[in-house]
Amino acid sequence: MGLSVSQLRAIAQQRDRYQTQLNRLKALGKQTSCIEAAVSSACDTLESGTTSFVIYGEPQSGKTEMMICLTAKMLDDGHRVVVHLLNDSVQLLQQNLDRFQRSKLSPAARNFSDVIDPEYSLSAGYHVIFCKKNASDLTKLNQKLERITDKVIIDDEADFATPNALINKGDVTKINALIKKLISHDGIYIGVTATPARLDLNNTFDNDNEKWVNFPPHEAYTGQDVFFPLDTDVQFSLHTLPDTDDSPKYLREAIFRFLVRVAALNLATKADENFSMLIHTSGKKLDHKSDKRPIDDVMNTLSDTHSKKFESYTHEIGKIATKLYGPEQASSILAYIVTNCDQTSTVIMNSERDKNVDFKSATSPAAMFTFVIGGNIVSRGVTFDNLLSMFFTRDSKHKIQQDTYIQRARMFGSRKKHLPYFELTIPEPLYLDWQRCFAFHKLALEAIKTKKGSPVWLADQRIAAVASSSIDKANVVLDKGEMTFPIFDYSSDIERFLHGSNDPISSLRRLQEKIGNDALPDYLIRYVQRILPNGPTSIALHPSSTIENMKDADKDKIERRKGLFGQAKRESPDALHHFKIFYNSKNKARLIYRFNGNITFLKNVKNVG
């Protein structure tokens, strides 16, 4: 006997989309615990009544798969319409839309252009809609969704285009206003990004930074600890360039090394795989074309055995192969290169070529030796498979924007397989600035992973947390260089942990054992340990103090808008790193860290009660 209509209806309503997506990933051998942690935490946040928050994670850490699973969970929980907002790039939209559709998520994701068709009805059923963040598309989508309530808006790369850059002029940007209209009074806003500082400091849609959700990286992830280690050796090939000489020979030599590494890797694995080299030298589109000339010069020369430079170029490549892999392998590497050198492709990725070039041939290399040249468009949402080399000479004569440079770390991701063959070529000052960008960023995020405090965003003379126009100056204060960590139980014997040794690092470790890793993060100790220009005197461990005598302090939260430290740094003029415990009458305490350098700490106090 066949199924009745009522039975079919019941079956249709029992779909477990979320579990289906987790099973799909597990069948592919992918770790799902990090995704489950983020989705579960997001659901808890929604259940608590918060309707505007951020999910943050590392660059290139698999957030698209997380968003597929999050969307599935939202649909399972009865949200009929889920809108995904993406950067204003046709290729990026198509890339993400394709991944959603291939996941077999039900319903299939649709481009907004399909949905705005008058014949398309949203009055019943479930809908997943993709839309670019531009005024024209958002206006049309708003018109179509005007009568739809309880929408879920998932904003990919949420710190880009969405924040109100006119906030200090009493005005609102068009994109910000249109997204706010889309959310309406009853919608849910979930921003997803690796760089949430701008969303916090801008107070974008009043998102609550104390309710943010962490999306932890998977086990195969290689990120800042690998590419910008603070206290270990690099596990890849790092080539530093002089800061002033911009001779084209450096790019040519980097191309030679890329060819050698591809050949060595393919010979070792006995597979003719395709790999890419990303060249990020300028944000100017005209420069991208000039960057292409050295590539054409090398590849054309190697393809023409009778060219004038063939002998000199093959000689140089042979020397590099010998240096990297020894004389025995050098000959076979060189032979492999000249045999396969015509398997090459160069893709220029910028907004000018956006509609004319298939970016997929760059992100998933279509030729054995694929070269990708790009500027700003490379920095957002683009994942490069089989990336083996990155040439980065674009130096910033002004302040480096922390969020921008974090997004430029396109070498992050699942790179463990090819890590020994990977090469980063970069001016040393720029590498050190980049390293500090990530150190500042990680210090800020450590404070919110426990969900017990607001983040404090760090900046110095070379590095800005975000563009100044994005900071809501009415609600952001410049802290006096202080960073706070979660509250812990105080007892007088803590003082002996702080002052029982002449080695301040050992004292901090003993204190950490006593009060816990949340109250004194391990990463902070390692960061401090790395920056000790004056040896042990670079660290000052100050005697603890009560907060009860500070009239303008929040004694329960152990906070003070103007900072807690006062003039403590005068007691230790050589110290860069200052630590001090403040406690209240209830024997609760908080550790305060202060950097006595040129660092400014930006903290959003709008949600501080």
pLDDT reported for residue 36: 98
Check if the beta carbon of residue 424 is closer than 8 Å to that of residue 390: yes
Max mean pLDDT range (140-149, 199-208, 549-558): 140-149
pLDDT of 567 above 80: no
Spell out the residues 6+ positions from residue 66 whose beta carbon is closer than 8 angstroms to its own: 34, 35, 38, 39, 55, 57, 192, 215
* Mean pLDDT lowest among 125-139, 267-281, 448-462, 505-519: 448-462
User: How does residue 609 score in pLDDT terms, banded at 50, 70 and 90?
Assistant: very low
Largest CA distance in the chain: 88
112-122: pLDDT as tens digits: 999 999 999 99
Q: Name the more confident of 471 and 120.
A: 120
Which two structure tokens, joined as six digits, stand for 130? Answer: 């993709």
Q: Does the structure show a pLDDT above 70 at 140?
A: yes
Contact in structure between 83 and 129 (CB atoms under 8 Å)? yes
Specify the amino acid at residue 77.
D
In sequence order, what DSSP letters do the residues of 554-575 get, joined into one string? Answer: BTTTTB-TT-S-TTGGGG-TT-
Question: How far is residue 384's CA from residue 404's CA, in Å, rounded to a whole number?
Answer: 18
Q: What's the fold here for domain 15-215?
A: Rossmann fold (3.40.50)
So what's the pLDDT on residue 352?
A: 56
- The residue extents of the domains of the chain are 15-215, 244-394, 475-604
Instruction: List pLDDT tens digits, range 236-261.
Output: 999 988 877 778 899 999 999 999 99
The string of pLDDT tens digits covering residues 25-81 is 999 999 999 999 999 999 999 999 999 999 999 888 889 999 999 999 999 999 999
pLDDT tens per residue, range 355-408:
555 667 667 898 999 999 876 666 555 778 899 999 987 555 556 676 777 777
551: DSSP letter: T
Q: Give the confidence band of 608 by pLDDT, cuts at 50, 70, 90.
A: very low
Q: Which has more pLDDT, 135 or 447? A: 135
Q: Which residue matches tokens 């410049």?
A: 478
pLDDT > 70 fraction of the chain, expressed in percent and rounded: 85
Question: Tens digit of pLDDT for each residue in 157-193?
Answer: 998 889 998 988 889 999 999 999 999 999 999 999 9
Q: How far apart are CA 244 and CA 61, in angstroms?
A: 34
